[in-house]
Structure 1
Amino acid sequence: MFIDTHTHLYLEDFEEDRDAMVSRAVDAGVQRMYLPNVDVETISSLKALWESYPEQMYPMMGLHPCSVTANADADLERIIFELETGTYYAVGEIGLDFYWDKTWIQEQERAFKRQTEWAIVHDLPIVIHSRDAMDRLLEILEDYRGSGVRGVFHCFTGTLPQGMAAIDLGFKLGIGGVVTFKNSTLPQVLPELGLQHLVLETDAPYLAPVPYRGKRNESSYIPVIAHKLAEVLGLPLEEIERVTTKNAMELFHVAN
């Protein structure tokens, strides 16, 4: 069994063939799919997908850094209401994004810290979005060392020192389609970090692996990513499947 630890299957990109897409994923051996929330506007569609596929879908709740604006406090109140009244397996996706817009950096940091603290209180992992912000996130998380904080750096594309620092803080690293890209540095970095710290993800509909790059991504492509990871690490595909699934189960505290 494979697990897709990060997929946005509830988005409109899948509106025309969502049921078929889920079937393709299951047929490909991807039995569990974790759904990170984006903002208050995506909550209803995320919950609807979960209710349609309760055995395959595992929802998260959080406010994406690119959705943090002057209205963040009101949005965060809705997020914490969901966390306190619903069933969620992680707080995410949350984090910092300094790539698109630096207008709300202070608000992003404040939102990240608040949501991290909620995760600690609720004993949930955090699922971190990091773009041009890895070092700052590591600095912030250092302040929470020993607090019980845990989680995953989704779509990890960082350096070896950054990966080692994240692992030292108790985090997993999410590996997706980027590992298949020609210009990716992950094939040099990942052998030094070790399979025991990695989980698989698609980030569908984004970042489809080669040979689907540039097209819509979907959870059925997890085995494509796993094949590449097996090649990079020099391990059998079955070992990649077994260990990454075990890692995901441990990350989200979900039984077999």
Structure 2
Amino acid sequence: MIDTHAHLYDPHFQPDINQHITEIQEAGVNEVWLPNCDLASWDQLVELTTKFPHFVLPMIGLHPTYVKENYILELQGLEALLEKNKVLAIGEIGLDYYWDTTYQKEQIKAFERQCHWALDRKIWIDVHCRKAYGDLIRLLKKPEYRNLNGIIHCFSGDYREAQTLASLGFKLGVGGVITYKNTTLFEAIKDIPLTSIVLETDSPYLSPVPFRGKPNSPKFIPIIAQKLADLYQVPLSDLIEITNQNAQILKTMSGY
């Protein structure tokens, strides 16, 4: 299985990273993809990808909640790193209006600039979106982005938004939220074919039931996979095969 989105460089996983990696691999996870947040997180991310090559793969990007008054300097620094490093994707990037909209315009500018990084390098984007699906879809529908694709990480939109994003060529990332008692996530995605779904954890956040409230780990991917298989009424082996193929398509696109 592939965890397409986990922050293994988070302090929670240190200093016992070797033990965490062992537990993740023993759970049947053979790859973990690491989204970047800002310049400050890059060194820790690269340290992991150097230590565990072929198991953890890097992305680079400025997370929308890290977009502040200095965002242009952050982007310049990240772009300089991008010139020197091979990455799986540009991410995690996007829009987040959940807590604060002070830098809404700057978030949009940062998102579009990073979308062009992906287009220029013919790689995909890993998208964070909370309470901003209207603006996200409006942007992704621009003709200049017609060749963009990637993953909508931790998809939390409604049925119509799921349909639209899938039709634009994006995979929907599904994680621990699918196991929550009162979630409406499956209602939103139940008519989305499995060919548009990938698995993720967003570790150490959003642990699945029965570990909700505790730190998440990619080792819990089997719980998410089993829940999705039950909801889609398909064998677990089929669900794993299809979601792995979906992830591999993106991986191949980036030259990995």
Normalising by the smaller structure, the TM-score range is over 0.9
Task: Say if 2:32 and 2:218, in contact at 8 Å, map to a contact too.
Answer: yes
Q: Map Cα deviations across residues 10-37 of structure 1 (whole Å, 9 max, x no partner).
A: 1111113211111111111100010000
| Uncovered stretches (5+) of structure 1, i.e. residues with no partner | none
Q: Residue 100 of structure 1 aligns with which residue?
A: 99
The within-5 A match list for 1:23-34 is 23-34=22-33
Give identity over the alignment, percent: 40
Secondary structure at 2:148 match in 1: coil
Q: Does 1:201 align with 2:200?
A: yes
Counterparts of 1:52-201 in structure 2 under 5 Å? Answer: 52-144=51-143, 147-201=146-200
Q: 1:144 to 1:174 in 2, by over 3 A?
A: farther
Q: For residues 158 and 64 of structure 2, what CA distance do their matches in structure 1 show?
A: 22
Partner Cα distance (1:130, 1:174) in 2: 11
Which residue is equivalent to 2:14?
15
Equivalence for 1:230:
229
Q: Cα deviations across residues 159-187 of structure 1 (Å, max 9, x unaligned)?
A: 11000100111100000000000111122
Post-superposition offset of 1:144: 4.0
Contact 2:175–2:208 under 8 Å retained in 1: yes
Instruction: Give structure 1 regions of 4+ aligned residues with deviation exceeding 6 angstroms.
Output: none
Q: Which residue is 2:214 aligned to?
A: 215
Normalization by structure 1: what TM-score?
A: 0.97
Counterpart Cα distance in 1 of 2:75 and 2:129: 19
Contact 1:145 1:169 (8 Å CA) reproduced? no
- What is the letter of the counterpart of residue 51 of structure 1? T
Amino acid at match of 1:123: K
- Provide Cα deviations, 1:30-82, integer angstroms capped at 9, x if missing partner: 00010000011000000000001002011000000000011001000111112
Unaligned runs of 5+ residues in structure 2 are none
Q: Secondary structure at the match of 2:69?
A: coil
1:94–1:126: 8 Å Cα contact kept in structure 2?
yes
- Return the alpha-carbon distance in structure 1 between the equivalents of residues 3 and 228 of structure 2: 14
Aligned length: 255
Alpha-carbon contact 1:157-1:178 (below 8 Å) kept: no
What is the Cα deviation at residue 114 of structure 1? 0.0
Distance 1:144 1:28 in 2: 42
Give TM-score scaled by structure 2 length.
Answer: 0.97
In structure 2, relative to structure 1, the CA distance for the partners of 1:57 and 1:106 (3 Å cut) is same
Is the 1:120–1:147 Cα contact (8 Å) retained in structure 2? no
Contact 1:190 1:233 in 2 (8 A): no
Post-superposition shift, 1:146? Answer: 5.9
